[in-house]
């Protein structure tokens, strides 16, 4: 029996049209006598077989008609008239009868209500391995309706669609990458760096389709933005005495390294020295430290001070960052200890011999400087020093009381002209 048939597109619950000889055809003569029934499905003119694409008829089993969804999708849903001729084999002219029925393909999906998904923003570092994102599917209240997804990108320039980004918005299980619903991204050109809005449009239905959209941001990251700088300030970790200058030569190449591959230009690396990690805004003490960076390899970090107040330990920070990517930064802490070499100073093991002096009373004033004798043996020579003397009577001829009035001595070393100078002079009384 061939009755009008309704096929709901995409509905997996559609059943094939079935029949049997008993239900589809009858004859006043048995098949055993007039041979079996033969069926011919056509469009109405009696000669043209109906498009096989509409359905598949198992003419051997003569049991099922399976309607083709692809036909409906390709030719638009609608109602198609089907003619079925049936006759006894070898007796067609005498026995042929025609049954007419309709097959109606209905697309209910445009009546559905779409609920877009909420995709998550994505990022991809250019030049790295291919990244991807499985787009979360939209849903609808007609569960069987299949979504077809397309996408657009803003800004439109540079063009990243199909250049950086690929997407398979069709559930077809094909073997062509990417997989269904899968976004992938990959490119070696850092010039695509930027933030793009990808808007995915989900479409339901064949006739008068309905759509909805969902967007997410795709950030194509310049590799320099996520580079790793490694600052090594160990070379500056020194203990140095106050006074002499210490020059620590260094180059960025040896003190700051980056994991950026050769060929990717991130721009100059800035290095800063900061006095105290706890207060990073404070620059290093320029009275003690000189940061000379006139260009590799002549860069140096110089330490020099003669100020006793500068004695101490300086916790410092070396901070390196890309000038163009200031968030790519690394720091390394180091300490510079300025110690006081004059607490106490040492003396040369080889002491000089002072020159015995002779003064003839009433002669012109005579001077004798011992300053250099002491400064020459002091290690280091710049430590604060004072001199004093004691006169001890040598034998009975000496008169210590008189001697005290005879001699003057400047033992306060204050850079005066008379520092460390003995002066012998007696003008009146001897």
Token pair of 378, please? 């002091």
Q: Smallest Cα–Cα separation from 41: which of 74, 22, 5, 65? A: 65
Part in contact with another protein (CB under 8 A); list of ranges 93-101, 114-122, 190-198, 347-355: 347-355
Q: Which is nearest to 215 in space by CA: 125, 116, 128? A: 116
- 346 is a site residue for another protein (CB under 8 A): yes
The binder of another protein chosen from 386, 393, 404, 405 (CB under 8 A) = 386
Q: In terms of CB distance, is 6 or 405 closer to another protein? A: 405
Smallest distance, Å, CB 236 to another protein? 25
Which segments of 92-167 are extended strands (E)?
97-106, 114-115, 122-125, 131-134, 139-140, 148-154, 165-167
CB of 316 to another protein, least distance (A): 24
Query: Interface with another protein by CB under 8 A: which range of 6-14, 20-28, 63-71, 370-378?
Result: 370-378
388 binds another protein, rule: CB under 8 A: yes
Q: Which region among 2-10, 108-116, 252-260, 395-403 touches another protein (by CB under 8 A)?
A: 395-403
Q: Which of 194, 312, 352, 416 binds another protein (CB under 8 A)?
A: 352
User: Which one, 207 or 418, has the nearer CB to another protein?
Assistant: 418
Q: Are 296 and 249 in contact (CB under 8 A)?
A: no
Among 22, 390, 417, 427, binds another protein (CB under 8 A): 390
410 near another protein (CB under 8 A): no
**15-23: long-range contacts at Cβ-Cβ below 8 A with a sequence spacing of 24 or more?**
16/64, 16/65, 16/66, 16/67, 17/55, 17/64, 17/65, 17/66, 17/67, 18/63, 18/64, 18/65, 19/62, 19/63, 19/64, 19/65, 20/62, 20/63, 21/62
DSSP annotation of 24 reads: H
- Footprint of another protein on 68-87 (CB under 8 A): none
Binding-site member from 7, 17, 374, 419 for another protein (CB under 8 A): 374
**What does each C-alpha distance from 301 to 29, 51, 292 come to in angstroms?**
115, 88, 6
Site for another protein in 146-175 (CB under 8 A): none
Interacting residues with another protein between 304 and 343 (CB under 8 A): 308, 340, 342-343
Among 112, 235, 387, 421, binds another protein (CB under 8 A): 387
CA distance linking residue 141 with residue 207, whole number of Å: 18
Nearest distance in Å: CB 285, another protein:
19
Q: From the list 406, 421, 423, 425, which residue makes contact with another protein (rule: CB under 8 A)?
A: 406
- Residues 281-310 within binding reach of another protein (CB under 8 A): 308
Burial of 289 (0-12, 13-18, 19+ CB in 10 A): buried
44: left (phi over 0), alpha (psi -120 to 50) or beta: left
Please provide residue 33's backbone torsions phi and psi, each rounded to the nearest 5 degrees. Answer: -100, -45
Containing 83, the helix (H) or strand (E) segment is: strand 79-88
Whichever of 49 and 362 has its CB closer to another protein, that residue is 362
* Selected range binding another protein among 232-240, 250-258, 286-294, 390-398, rule: CB under 8 A: 390-398
* Given 286, 392, 427, 428, the residue binding another protein (CB under 8 A): 392
Judged by CB under 8 A, the residue of 91, 377, 418, 421 near another protein is 377
Dist CA 81 CA 344 (whole Å) = 116
Of the candidate residues 160, 164, 320, 370, the single one contacting another protein (CB under 8 A): 370
d(CA 355, CA 372) in angstroms, rounded, equals 13
Of the listed pieces 43-51, 68-76, 250-258, 379-387, which binds another protein according to CB under 8 A?
379-387
Nearer to another protein, 100 or 404 (CB): 404
Smallest gap from residue 301 Cβ to another protein (A):
26
Half-sphere CA count of 302, side-chain side, radius 13 A: 14
* Residues contacting 148, CB < 8 A, separation 6+: 169, 170, 202, 203, 204
Measured from the CB of residue 261, what is the shortest distance to another protein in angstroms? 54
Taking contact as CB under 8 A, which single stretch among the options 87-95, 175-183, 195-203, 373-381 is the one that binds another protein?
A: 373-381
SS3 237: coil
Q: List binders of another protein among 216-275 (CB under 8 A).
A: none
List of residues contacting another protein (CB under 8 A): 308, 340, 342-347, 351-363, 370, 373-374, 377-378, 383-392, 394, 398, 402-403, 406-407, 422, 424, 430
């Amino acid at each position: 029996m061939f009755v009008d048939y309704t096929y709901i597109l995409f509905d997996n619950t559609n059943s094939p049209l079935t029949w049997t000889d008993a239900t589809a055809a009858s004859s006043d003569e048995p098949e055993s006598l007039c041979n079996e029934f033969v069926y011919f499905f056509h469009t109405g003119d009696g000669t043209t077989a109906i498009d096989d694409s509409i359905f598949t008829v198992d003419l051997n089993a003569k049991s099922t008609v399976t309607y083709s969804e692809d036909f409906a999708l390709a030719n638009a849903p609608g109602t198609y008239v089907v003619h079925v001729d049936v006759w006894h084999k070898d007796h067609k002219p005498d026995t042929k009868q025609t049954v007419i029925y309709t097959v109606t393909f209905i697309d209910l999906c445009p009546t559905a209500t779409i609920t877009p998904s909420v995709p998550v923003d994505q990022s991809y570092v250019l030049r790295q391995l291919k990244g991807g994102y499985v787009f979360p599917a939209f849903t609808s209240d007609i569960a069987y309706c299949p979504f077809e997804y397309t996408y657009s990108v803003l800004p439109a320039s540079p063009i990243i669609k199909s250049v950086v980004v690929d997407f398979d918005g069709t559930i077809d299980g094909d073997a062509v990458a990417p997989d269904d619903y899968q976004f992938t991204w990959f490119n070696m050109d850092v010039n695509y760096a930027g933030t793009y809005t990808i808007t995915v449009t989900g479409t339901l239905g064949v006739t008068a389709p309905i759509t909805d959209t969902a967007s997410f941001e795709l950030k194509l990251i310049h590799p320099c933005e996520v580079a790793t700088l490694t600052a090594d300030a160990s070379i500056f970790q020194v203990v140095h005495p106050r006074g002499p200058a210490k020059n620590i030569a260094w180059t960025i190449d040896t003190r700051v390294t980056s994991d950026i591959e050769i060929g990717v230009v991130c721009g100059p690396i800035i290095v800063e020295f900061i006095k105290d990690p706890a207060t990073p805004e404070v620059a290093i003490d320029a009275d003690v430290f000189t940061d000379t960076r006139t260009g590799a390899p002549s860069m140096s970090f110089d330490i020099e001070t003669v100020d006793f107040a500068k004695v101490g330990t300086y916790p410092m920070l070396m901070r390196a960052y890309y000038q163009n990517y200031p968030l790519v930064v690394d720091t390394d802490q180091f300490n510079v200890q300025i110690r006081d070499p004059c607490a106490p100073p040492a003396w040369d093991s080889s002491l000089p011999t002072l020159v015995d002096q002779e003064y003839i009373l009433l002669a012109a004033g005579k001077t004798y400087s011992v300053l250099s004798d002491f400064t020459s043996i002091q290690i280091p020579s710049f430590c604060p020093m004072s001199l004093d003397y004691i006169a001890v009577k040598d034998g009975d001829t000496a008169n210590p009381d008189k001697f005290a009035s005879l001699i003057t001595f400047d033992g306060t070393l204050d850079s005066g002209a008379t520092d460390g100078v003995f002066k012998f002079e007696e003008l009146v009384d001897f």
